[in-house]
Chains A and B, each alone.
Chain A
Amino acid sequence: MIAKLKREYGSGIEPLTHLGQNYMVVDRSLIPELLQRLRDEEEFDYCVDVTAVHYPKREKQFDVIWVLYSFARNERIRVKTQIAEGESLPSSVPLWTTTNWLEREVYDMFGIKFDGHPDLKRILLPDGWKGFPLRKDYDILQQDNEWVQINLGIESGQ
Chain B
Amino acid sequence: MSHRRRGVLIAGALAAVTCQIVVTYVPGPPQPLIGTITQSLVGLSFLAAGIAAWVRWPASRLGLLFTITGYLWLLPNLGHLPYALPFTIGNLAAPLYEAALAHLALAWPTGRLRSRFEVGVVVANYTWNIGQSFISMFFWNPQTNCGPSCPANLLMIHGSQAAENALGVISIPVGLALTVTVLALIVRHWQTARGWTRRAMVPLLWIAPAICALSAVQTVAQNTSLPLFTSTTAGNILYGYLPLILLAGPALFVAGTLLARTARGAVGTAIVDLEPGAPPGQLRDTLARALGDSTLQLAFREPDGSGYLDTAGRPVDPDRPEPGRIVTPLPGRDGAAPADTVLVHDGGLEHEPQLVRLTAAAASMALEHARLQAEVQAQLEQVRASRARIVEAGDAARRRIERDLHDGAQQRLVTLALALGMARSQVAGSDPDLAALLEGATKEAREAIAELRELARGIHPAVLTETGLPGAIQALVERSPVATTVSAVPACRFPAPIEATAYFVVSEALANVAKHAPAATAQVAVRQSAERIVVEITDDGPGGARPDSGSGLRGLADRVASVGGALQIDSAIGGGTRLRAEIPCQ
Does chain A bind chain B? no
